[in-house]
Amino acid sequence: LKVFSDANWSASAVDLIKTGIAPHILIQSTKPSLSVLHQAGPDDALAEADIICGQPEVANVLRSTNLQWLHLTSAGFTRYDTSSFREQAAARGLCVTNSSSVYDQPCAEHVFAFMLAHSRRLPVALRSRAANGSNEWTGLRNGCSSLQNKSVLILGFGAIAVRLLRLLGSFEMRIVAFRRRPRGDEGIPTVSLNDLPGPLALADHVINILPENSDSIHFINEQRLALMKPGAVFYNIGRGATVDQAALIAALRSGKLEAAWLDVTSPEPLPENHPLLNEPNCFITPHIAGGHENESESLARHFLENFQHHICGTSMIDRIM
Amino acid sequence: LKVFSDANWSASAVDLIKTGIAPHILIQSTKPSLSVLHQAGPDDALAEADIICGQPEVANVLRSTNLQWLHLTSAGFTRYDTSSFREQAAARGLCVTNSSSVYDQPCAEHVFAFMLAHSRRLPVALRSRAANGSNEWTGLRNGCSSLQNKSVLILGFGAIAVRLLRLLGSFEMRIVAFRRRPRGDEGIPTVSLNDLPGPLALADHVINILPENSDSIHFINEQRLALMKPGAVFYNIGRGATVDQAALIAALRSGKLEAAWLDVTSPEPLPENHPLLNEPNCFITPHIAGGHENESESLARHFLENFQHHICGTSMIDRIM
């Protein structure tokens, strides 16, 4: 089998993959894709691949006539999440997997870090040298809060939400999820679009993990922000395009939202002087929620685990199509 | 009964207490104590009290000849934690309680917020606008880590440690505790002083919750810092005096410690130009770990719960002597 990869692997990850797939061969792209948001150019070697692992452009995937399996080295899969691609993949019997299992834990920890940093007022407290008993100190102490007994709404119920539920489990929070088609096995109350207004109005913490697709663009808009509880905190670790940023700025300025914590924006990074950068209650990290030590090696190991399944014809992990 | 209080209650907390103890009476100090670290002056009304609730000076407590019960509105009790006071309290049959139950959850959440903020690199990431795929971005992503599968050493095993264990439970961490006299019911491996070097050398995260007393002053000193794992992260939400700050600065500068996150220092606040304030890997909040919404009311409710126990002669909550 010919395995083509346009991912930007570390040297040790390349070793892992070559050893793990031998006697099958790895063909590395001459133009590696640096991240899920970058487009790599076409690559001749890709056309002959049996397996593609990385972030190839859709047109190039469809040009690969031998292709059996496409493995994405990300959790997000915006560019493939169209009815056109889904139909062509189904017609050709193409298996598509992503790397959710690699990113679910760090992403859940990242949003949890946001929640605790907010409730413990770290952005202000780490700059404060207030003396015990001073007004500033009393205000800071009383401004702190506990996550315990608060309510959470999770928008999007995938691998990250499942991890997040586990982490939040020890905090005795009231948690509701939204997904397009609730299955009943979520383990928490889960609503579809029609029933979203109720939980939106009750949540102290609204966590957006929605993927980007034609249904989710500007999902968080003026209307949905207006439905939220006054003083709610909004978190986004999904995709920036799912939020109408002008509406978000208005909700922050009016005080409707107490704060927004964003790992994703549109575009990334935001241009100089973008108003979100100057909002005092908007906290932004540069799309690093999935980052962790030895990320390249854990992606390689995840691919190799699926490679075994592919060879054995057993059930693939993180199959999305 | 005469209940004397020198605590700095909110108006609604005073109402709660007055209603809760009636027909017994509340006598409020004319010189309320602003925090556990402040000393209020003597107060004539205190001498006649049956119950004292607040942060009175030791000399004044011992002058109160009718005193049956002393309730501290803090978790820390440094000024009473001497063999002299313990002996006199025991000789007079004085019951002493503190407010651990009020502060255990916020303190545990605060140290947890520190741990996640550190592992997700929030102090750097919230200032970064690194572009996807850039060297800065890759460095930031790879610098992030997960708490999962890391090892933790908790110094001091009281109410906060018990809460912290529950919160950390979902992270699959290896947790060891140190306490003077392990009881065997801690639920995790717990060592005494003789066996401390082993776990100190293994821990990725060292969490200091030690109270301040004659045994614990400069407990974290040059020798113990030298025993720690290179790259460990140190947290202090106990008392500042338990750390030799000069040794801590040296350990940060040498890179022995990756970072220190402190809610307490000695003194508080640190004076301008104190070297810890300029250490890039030292992160300080101003003794707010116990802070939470309606702190005064939750302290009042906790006191009233114990007041019921005192009246009924049943077992007091958070009894320390």
Identify the pLDDT of residue A33.
66
Identify the pLDDT of residue B182.
97
> Kind of pairing, strands B2-7 and B25-33?
parallel
Return all residues near B311 (Cβ < 8 A) that are at least 6 apart. none
Instruction: List, for residues B111-154, the tens digit of each pLDDT value.
Output: 999 999 999 999 999 999 999 989 999 999 999 999 999 999 99
Taking the CA atoms of residue B143, residue B144, residue B146 and residue B147 in that order, the dihedral angle to the nearest 10 degrees is 90
Q: Which residues of A touch B137 (CB under 8 A)?
A: 35, 286-288
3-state SS, B198-251, equals: HHHHHCCEEEECCCCCCCCCCCECHHHHHHCCCCEEEEECCCHHHECHHHHHHH
Instruction: List, for residues A229-243, the tens digit of each pLDDT value.
Output: 999 999 999 999 999
Q: Is B113 on the interface with A (CB under 8 A)?
A: yes
Q: CA torsion sign, B43 to B45 to B47 to B51?
A: negative
**pLDDT < 70: residue spans in chain A:** 33-43
Q: How far apart are CA B70 and CA B72, in angstroms?
A: 7
Among B218, B144, B207, which residue's Cα sits nearest to residue B178? B207
CB contact (8 A) between residue B129 and residue A35? no
Query: B residues 245-274 near A, CB within 8 Å?
Result: 268-270
- Residue A309's CB: how many other CB atoms inside 10 A? 17
Report helix, strand or coil for A33: strand
Active site residue A287: yes
Residues A80 and A204 sit within 8 Å (Cβ to Cβ): no
Per cent of chain B over pLDDT 70 is: 96
Identify the pLDDT of residue B45.
78
What integer is the mean pLDDT of B179-188? 95
Identify the pLDDT of residue B209.
97
Identify the pLDDT of residue B303.
97
CB contact (8 A) between residue B132 and residue A291? no
Q: Which residues of B touch A117 (CB under 8 A)?
A: 113, 116-117, 122
Q: Is A146 on the interface with B (CB under 8 A)?
A: yes
Q: How confident is the model at residue B234 (pLDDT cuts 50, 70, 90)?
A: very high
Token code pair at residue A314: 């057993």
Residue appearing with tokens 């999440």: A81
Identify the pLDDT of residue A29.
87
CB contact (8 A) between residue B133 and residue A293? no
- Residue B84's CB: how many other CB atoms inside 10 A? 10
Residue B321 confidence (pLDDT) above 60: yes
Q: How far apart are CA B272 and CA B292, in angstroms?
A: 28
Mean of pLDDT over chain B:
94
Report helix, strand or coil for A155: strand
Q: How far apart are CA B106 and CA B289, in angstroms?
A: 6
DSSP run (H or E) holding A104: helix A100-119
The structure's pTM equals 0.92
Q: How far apart are CA A72 and CA B261, in angstroms?
A: 38
| Sequence letter at residue B256 | K
Residue appearing with tokens 């009750």: A202
- Residue B319's CB: how many other CB atoms inside 10 A? 14
Window from A228-232, B36-40, B53-57, B302-306 with minimum mean pLDDT? B36-40
Identify the pLDDT of residue B167.
93
Among A56, A52, A65, which residue's Cα sits nearest to residue A36? A56
Residues A218 and A238 sit within 8 Å (Cβ to Cβ): no
| Sequence letter at residue B149 | N
Q: How far apart are CA B44 and CA B31, in angstroms?
A: 11
**Closest Cα in chain A to B113:** A116
User: Which ipTM value was assigned to this complex?
Assistant: 0.92
Q: Which residues of A touch B291 (CB under 8 A)?
A: 140-144
Per-residue b/e over A114-130, b at no fewer than 16 CB within 10 Å? bbbbbbbbbbbbbebbb
Identify the pLDDT of residue A46.
82
Q: How far apart are CA B164 and CA B189, in angstroms?
A: 15
Report helix, strand or coil for B259: strand
CA distances from A31 to A27, A46, B24 (A): 12, 11, 81
| B119, B167, B286: residue with CB nearest A109 | B119
Which candidate in A222, A268, A297, A305 is catalytic? A268
CB contact (8 A) between residue A133 and residue B34? yes
Task: Render A157-217 in DSSP notation, one character per residue.
Answer: -SHHHHHHHHHHGGGT-EEEEE-SS--S-SSS-EE-GGG-HHHHHH-SEEEE-PPPSTTTT
DSSP run (H or E) holding B137: helix B135-143
Instruction: List, for residues A268-290, the tens digit of each pLDDT value.
Output: 999 999 999 999 999 999 999 99
Identify the pLDDT of residue A47.
83
Q: Which residues of B touch A290 (CB under 8 A)?
A: 141
Among B307, B318, B305, which residue's Cα sits nearest to residue B1? B307
Note the Cα B76 to chain centre separation in Å: 6
Q: Which residues pair with B257 in a beta bridge?
A: B232
User: Could you give phi then psi for residue B274, rounded to 5 degrees?
Assistant: -65, 135
Instruction: List, for residues B247-279, the tens digit of each pLDDT value.
Output: 999 999 999 999 999 999 999 999 999 999 999
What's the gap in Å between the CA of A147 and the closest CA on chain B?
8
Token code pair at residue A247: 């509406």
Identify the pLDDT of residue B41.
56
Q: How confident is the model at residue B29 (pLDDT cuts 50, 70, 90)?
A: confident
Task: Render A277-289 in DSSP notation, one character per residue.
Answer: GG-TTEEE--S-T
Q: How far apart are CA B290 and CA B310, in angstroms?
A: 25
Identify the pLDDT of residue A238.
95
Residue B90 confidence (pLDDT) above 60: yes
Among A256, A268, A163, which residue's Cα sits nearest to residue A212? A268
Q: How far apart are CA A292 and CA A299, in angstroms?
A: 11
Q: Which residues of B touch A120 (CB under 8 A)?
A: 109-110, 113, 285, 288
Q: State yes or no: cis peptide before A267, omega within 30 of 0.
A: yes
| B126, B144, B284: residue with CB nearest A283 | B126
What integer is the mean pLDDT of B315-320? 96
CB contact (8 A) between residue A140 and residue B288? yes
- Residue A86's CB: how many other CB atoms inside 10 A? 15
